[in-house]
Amino acid sequence: MDLQISVFLLFILFTAGHSLSCYECKSVTGSCADQKLKTCPSGFSQCSSTTAVAQISYFSTKVKAKDCIPACQSGSLNLGYVKSTISCCDTDECNVQDAPDPSNIPNGRKCYYCDILSCSNKLICTGDEDHCITATWIFGGRSMALKGCASKSLCDGIEFDLGVVSFSCCEGNLCNGAQRVDQRWEL
């Protein structure tokens, strides 16, 4: 009996207090060569790696980020001017590899996306982006309509708390409607 209690207490000693270790990197140069290992704070149960490509007019930039995150779902998102992929995992140092670059291979799906003037722009979805999204984001007291393409995995497991007040996904070409969700920017 004493041996069972000792083994149980030893098990608790070795498993309690274990914190997840993830790589951390924030790069606007497209390289995470300087990534560093960090211990995640309490409540952060996953590691993430994100690659985003922003295309504005003739200017393009690639951003990479890695960090601890409370909850995460792997997948891809395309808002027309920004495409991103996120990879999530839940074991120590599992985000050592960068998330893959967003796909440029069209998949036949089309969704609406918003620019500064309109939400009636048509977007050709790529890779595993098989759903259309509609969201409203509040930032600094202003609301912003977001529309685009997303992978089913993001739609099924999305959790927002960074100012997103509404989020919906639908299947079918242009199912997210050309009408505005809100004003692009309200005062």
Give the pLDDT confidence of 144-172 residue by residue, as tens digits.
888 999 999 988 876 555 555 678 899 99
**Structural domain spans, the chain:** 19-102, 104-187
- Asked whether the domain spanning 104-187 has the same topology as the one spanning 19-102, the reply is yes
- Whether 12 contacts 18, CB under 8 Å: no
CATH topology of domain 104-187: CD59 (2.10.60)
- What is this structure's pTM? 0.79
- Average pLDDT (87-115) is 94
Whether the Cβ atoms of residue 49 and residue 29 lie closer than 8 Å to each other: no
Ranges 48-52, 114-118, 150-154, 162-166: which has the least confidence = 162-166
CATH number corresponding to 19-102: 2.10.60.10
Beta bridge partners of 87: 49
Distance CA 45, CA 26 (A): 19
Residue whose entry in the numeric block shows the structure tokens 């639908």: 170
- Whether the Cβ atoms of residue 126 and residue 105 lie closer than 8 Å to each other: yes
d(CA 70, CA 68): 7
